[in-house]
Every structure is written in C-alpha cells, then in structure tokens.
Structure 1
Amino acid sequence: MTPPPRRSGRLTFHGPLSETRADALVRRLAGNSPASVLDIGCGRGELMLRVLAAAPGATGLGVDLDAEDLAHGRRAAEERQLTSRVRFLEESATGTPHGPADLVLCVGASQALGGDLPGALADLRGLVTDGGRVLLGEGFWQRTPTVAELSRMWPGAAATDHPGLPGLIDRVIAAGFRPEWTETASLDEWEAFESAYLADTEVWLAEHPGHPQAEETRQRADRHRTAWLTYRGVLGLAYLTLVPVAAR
C-alpha cells in the first residue's frame, strides 16, 4: 500500500520565502563576494546553493541532522554542477567547529545551535568573519498571543517563546551586530509555505481514507493546520541581514 508522503514534498524552501524575496536575498548576499558560506540547519540547502551559483568563487558547507534533506541537497548540487564547491554534513550544529565563514545562513534554525536566542546569536557572532554577513531568519510575535491561541499552537507554546520585532532587533544589536537589512515574511509567503507543507498529505488522505496509517496521518495534519491557522497573522518571521561589529 502507498505510504503517507513526506509532508514537505512541495516546498522549495523550508520556510515562508517567496522566489522574489529569495532572488533579492541572493543578489544582496552574493554581492559581498563571500569566499565561504556556512549554512546552519541547512535542510536541503537551497538558499546556499543559489548563493554559490551567484558567487562562483565561494565554497559552501551545510550542517543538518536530517539525512533525507541532506541527500536531496547533494542531488541538487550535482544537478547544478556545484558538487566540487559544497559539502553537506549530517551532524549537530551545537558547538560546531566549522567557521568562521564570510556568510553564515541561519534561517529558521537558531534552535540548532542549542540554548536560547541570545546564546545562538553569540554563537553566530563567533561563526562569521569580520566584514562578513549573517542571514538570520527568526520568529517574532506580531502581537502578543492570547492564552487560548497559545493552547492551539505547538506543544508548550508560551508568549516568551519569541520577542516582538523591536525586541528581536535589540537582541541582535546586543550580540554584536548591526542590522543592515530588515524584512519580514508576508502573509502570502506564510500561506504558500504552510499550504505546500501539507498539500501532498491532504491529497493522500483524500485518496486513501481506509489506509491503516490514515487516522494517525489525519490527526497529525489536523493538528498542524490548527496550529498554523491560529498563529497566522500572529507569528512573524524576520529575515535580518546582519553585519558583525568590528572589535575596537
């Protein structure tokens, strides 16, 4: 019998990122002519691969724990003739010995560094070269969620899980960065991302209602949909291009 599909099968990026925004980010980041790129929690490494294609002299290293995503990234690198310039490593990013790099990507993956956001930002400061850049994709509350909303989000969700956008920028500056560019995911980007995340699963459920795994899969999909429809318009994602402050 056909098993349930991988939920992220239709995604290009594992986050609310449009092609238009991705193109602009790649142009800006590659425009700094990085020689080395480090992707923390890289997943399939799509954004890193696009930066490498736009910066022919650069090499890249992606670190993640998801073997399937890493295999997908390696196949994509081979298809784009980037194999000689990129590596994908299946290992934890916590305490990573890799770096410093001219460009560090950490998009929706600060938790991969372990600890809290201030600790992750301190780690990122140590992973980027002076004069380099960090692209940080980090969640923030667009408004403080209610107790009822939090109860329908992820398990254990709390108002302290994220700062507001001003608080996020304050933490970035306290960690030794200046925000060169601040932008946030649009509602259209969020809806496209979350819909694509579940789309294959929803089609499979409609076509296989009697499958032995259907009920478990349905419950998981329904929980996820309830969560994202609850945080829709409440949880934001900031894309921050950060410049490390030089030592005095």
Structure 2
Amino acid sequence: MIDSDAELPPRLGSLTFHGPLSEDRAERLVRRIAASGPADVLDIGCGWGELLLRVLDAVPGAKGTGIDINAEDLARGRALAAERGLADRAVFVEESARGTARGPVDAVLCLGSSQALCDPELPYDPAEVLRELRRLVRPGGVVVLGEGFWERTPTEAELAGMWPGARVDDHLPLGDLVDLALGAGFRPAWIESAGREEWEVFESGYRYDTELWLAAHPDHPLAAETRERVDRQRSGWLNGYRNVLGIAYLTLVATA
C-alpha cells in the first residue's frame, strides 16, 4: 500500500494558466474581449477555465461554457467558479469539442487546445481549426486563439529532441497562420506572442510540484515512472522546442 502522506502532488497545482500566459497579457486579453460586450462565451479545451472566469467577472451578466475531456481540470474550474461567485454563470462540461454544437456565441476562447477541434485520426490542420472557430462565433464576435507556430524552422536535431514524431509541418510560421485566419473569415485585430519569461514560468511551473515530490520521495513506488515522465518533458523543452516553438495569441474578429 502506498503511504498516503507520499501521494503524488495535485496536477499542475502551481499553474494559473495552462500555457505560457502572463498576468499582464491575460489582463489585456480580457480587456479586449470585455470591450466587445459578449453575452455568451465558449472556451474550447478549457482546462480549469481561468481566462473564461476572468472574462465573466469582467462582463457582468455574460454566461460561459467550458468544454474539456479532463474531469480533474473541470472539477477545479467548478470549484474556482464557486469561490468567485460565478457558479450560476459558468458551466463546465466534460465532452469532446469535435463538431460541437455549442455555437455560435459572441466570444470563443481556444488557448493551446485547437487540436480538440480536429479529427485525431488525421494530420493536424490549422486551416480546419480556423474554419471551425469561424463556425462557432457570430459575425462581429471575437475569438482569442492561442496557437503554436515556428519562430524559425527547426533543425533535425531539435525535432528529434521534441515530442515523439515531431515534424517541420507540425506548425506554420506566424505569417502563414495569420493568412489562414484571414481566409477563414477573420480580421486579426491583435497579434502577439508569448515571451521567454512566460515560457519559463509555464515550463517550470508545469513540473514544479512534481519535482519537489520526487526530491522528497525518491524511493516511492511511483517515483521511477514519474521521474522518467518529467525528465522527458523537460528535455523536450530544453533540447528541442525552446526558442523554436512560439505561441501566438491572436485576437480575431469575425467578418460579417
């Protein structure tokens, strides 16, 4: 039996956002979304919905729905909504976003989770993602898309150090990504990307609680597999996509 005092730490407990997103940038994103006066907001792959809850807090009367397939993250989101007095306006639903019928709405959030809109049996297609996002938002509505792009073309050695099967065509340059948004029926109202500090806070925070646990419990029955997992994640960042993979935050307005 595993000692309950040595259980694994809460998943991602040191992260505010599930991505390289600073407080300052989040505040600006929320302010731009709130300025559009949305009545309803949809968060695709919401996790615990931190940005969704901040939008609802900034737009009194607005209602939001977060969809994700991770029950633990959704439970965290419901608890946060209750703590902030938003439980009557925020709904967290465990379901796939693929082909969702929960639109159209006035505002859509999709931060680092666009793969949820694609067929998992087919190669990832950002053009399909943008077409789906356009379907889910009303004309004049706002989409905030957090999407990966290549800062520069990765070398073969860098690709080998990333996630299994990483390829050059996994992502696009930023200019090509924005062109796809234009073609899907959006105007790019604001284009920005995560900085190095945001990446470092996210990557370190992603593993922080687990690293502390591993240091304190090196002989725990689950230590070996946990150590292998976090070492692989850290190596993928440091020896693979660090300063190569970017995250763009695109504030897109749907054309009439």
Q: TM-score range by the shorter chain?
A: over 0.9
Q: Which residue of 1 aligns with 2:204?
A: 195
Residue in structure 2 matched with residue 8 of structure 1 by the alignment: 12
Structure 1 distance, partners of 2:173, 2:41, is: 29
Match of 1:234 in 2: 244
Residue of structure 2 equivalent to 1:137: 146
Structure 2 CA distance, aligned partners of 1:9 and 1:150? Answer: 29
Contact 1:4/1:217, CA 8 A, preserved across alignment: no
* Other structure's SS at 2:178 match: helix
TM-score relative to the length of structure 1: 0.97
Q: What does 1:103-118 correspond to in 2, within 5 Å?
A: 103-115=107-119, 116-118=125-127
Structure 1: distance between partners of 2:87 and 2:8: 31
Alignment partner, residue 63 of structure 1: 67
User: 1:147-162 counterparts in 2 under 5 A?
Assistant: 147-162=156-171
- Letter of the 1:118 counterpart: A
> Are 2:35 and 1:25 equivalent residues in the alignment?
no
**Structure 1 segments of 4 or more deviating over 4 A?**
none
Deviation of 1:5 (Å): 2.2
Structure 1 segments unaligned to the other structure (5+ residues):
none
Identify the residue that residue 92 of structure 2 maps to in structure 1.
Answer: 88
RMSD: 0.8
Equivalent in 216, 224, 231 of residue 233 of structure 2: 224
The one-character-per-residue Cα deviations of 1:173-222 (angstroms, maximum 9, x if unpaired) are 11111100000000000000000000011111111111111111111011
Unaligned runs of 5+ in 2: 120-124
User: Number of matched residues?
Assistant: 246
Q: Secondary structure at the residue paired with 1:194? A: helix
Distance in 2 (CA, whole Å) between partners of 1:6 and 1:167 is 38
- Alpha-carbon distance between aligned partners in 2 of 1:86 and 1:162, rounded to the nearest angstrom: 32
> Match of 1:72, as an amino acid?
R
Where 1:83 maps in the other structure, the secondary structure is coil
Are residue 245 (structure 1) and residue 249 (structure 2) matched? Answer: no
What percent of counterpart residues are identical? 61
Contact 1:7 1:198 in 2 (8 A): no
